[in-house]
Amino acid sequence: MNFLRKIAFPFSLLYGLITFLRNYLYNVNVFKSTKFKTPTIVVGNLSVGGTGKTPQIEYLIRLLQNNYKVAVLSRGYKRKSEGFVLAETGVNAEIIGDEPFQYFQKFPNIIVCVDADRTNGIQQLEKMQNPPDVILLDDAFQHRKVQGGFNILLTSYNDLYVDDCMLPTGNLRENKWGAKRAQTIIVTKCPNNLLAEAQEKVVSKLNVNQKQPVFFTTIAYYETLKGIDEVYLENLNDTELLLITGIANPAPLLNYLNEKQLKFKHLKFPDHYDFKAADIEMIKLNFEALTSSKKMILTTEKDYVRIFDKVKNIHYISIKTTFINRENDFNKLIKNYVEQSSGNR
């Protein structure tokens, strides 16, 4: 795979040129970018793969939902529907996508909707009888048709965008210069004990401007597993787990389970995987093959919403974003933007 990526370097140059021209035409207003009256917060990245957008969106929901009517607008990746769809009773992950369905189930007091055309999606939200006070745009950093009011760019600690190159040789969806559009940058999936000196080195490496504060977060796993009932991790030392993942980077979860000294077998599927009948049968056979008297099927929260109705007795582990430091500074930055933008409506 590495060899194939290297020989694809000329295509990376071409792809980089195309994305550069596209962004340039937006920057000089040849291509139209619409700014909306509703405060819009964009959460995205420059690369393909998991940088922690879902837990970051959930962090923002928790931060704002008590004071504002919050809407989350996503394209609904791999959904089996088209156009604008509002999450209501009866929807599932196939209709709106796994991550939007997760938001819908987890936060009953917010609006969740999907539309590949974010411009149309925001227009539909603003036409609602009770429109949202703030809109969170999930994975929309490259959606230049919408001029986000506040852009949050995520980059993983072990895979910084400055160390990467364009697709297909690397994982970047656009040139590193695109980071200049962000109002703030969050380095995600950091070690829990990342020292200030190490943080300063990363900031220097990112070469941000003075108006782009950089924050550092880590992923925290909940100690309670949920499903048909609640189970505590500390009670699973004598239990054998069949771990099912369909996420971009399961390595942090594997490391966490190993740190907890839990015994597990891992079945890895591609990101946003659509589990077929044959996959479900294979999962059941693997579970039956576990020899321990106590055994359990474990998955991620994002996978759970796609598989819970197909596999019995399955539990999931939740994650959340935790700031290593300066959390109050970040919260103030977001709240000030929403408050000031709302006052101008």
Residues 333 and 229 occupy one common structural domain: no
43-46-47-49 Cα dihedral, nearest 10 degrees? 0
Q: Distance between CA 274 and CA 270 in Å, rounded?
A: 9
Residues 200 and 310 occupy one common structural domain: no
Residues 166 and 201 occupy one common structural domain: yes
More confident call, 336 vs 3: 336
Residues 81 and 34 occupy one common structural domain: yes
Query: Please, what is the angle between helix 327-343 and helix 53-64, to 10°?
Result: 60
Residue 191: closest CA among 217, 159, 223: 217
Is pTM beyond 0.85? Reply is yes
As a whole number, mean pLDDT of residues 112-126 equals 97
Residues 175 and 286 occupy one common structural domain: no
Tokens describing residue 21: 């021209």
- C-alpha angle 103-105-108 in degrees, rounded to nearest 5: 85
Residues 123 and 25 occupy one common structural domain: yes
Residues 212 and 264 occupy one common structural domain: no
Residues 181 and 46 occupy one common structural domain: yes
As a whole number, mean pLDDT of residues 131-156 equals 97
Domain limits at 326? Answer: 2-219+322-343
Q: Distance between CA 240 and CA 225 in Å, rounded?
A: 14
Average pLDDT value over all residues in the chain: 94
Residues 196 and 284 occupy one common structural domain: no
- pLDDT tens string 182-210: 999 999 999 999 999 999 999 999 999 98
User: What separation in angstroms does the CA of 54 have from each of 3, 45, 134, 284?
Assistant: 32, 12, 17, 28
Q: Which of 47-56, 83-92, 261-270, 315-324 has the lowest mean pLDDT?
A: 47-56
Q: Is the pLDDT of residue 2 over 70?
A: no
pLDDT recorded at residue 49: 78
Residues 89 and 111 occupy one common structural domain: yes
- pLDDT tens string 14-30: 999 999 999 999 999 99
- pLDDT tens string 275-329: 999 999 999 999 999 999 999 999 999 999 999 989 988 999 999 999 999 999 9
What total of structural domains would you count in the chain? 2
Compute the radius of gyration of the chain from its Cα atoms: 21
Residues 102 and 127 occupy one common structural domain: yes
Q: Is the pLDDT of residue 345 over 90?
A: no
As a whole number, mean pLDDT of residues 31-50 equals 94
pLDDT confidence bin for 1, thresholds 50/70/90: very low
Q: Is the pLDDT of residue 70 over 90?
A: yes
pLDDT recorded at residue 56: 98
pLDDT recorded at residue 239: 96
For the beta sheet containing 184-188, the strands, ordered from the edge strand earlier in sequence to the opposite edge, are 85-86, 111-114, 70-74, 134-138, 40-45, 150-156, 184-188, 214-221, 319-323
Q: Distance between CA 195 and CA 294 in Å, rounded?
A: 40
Q: What is the CATH number of the domain that holds 338?
A: 3.40.50.300
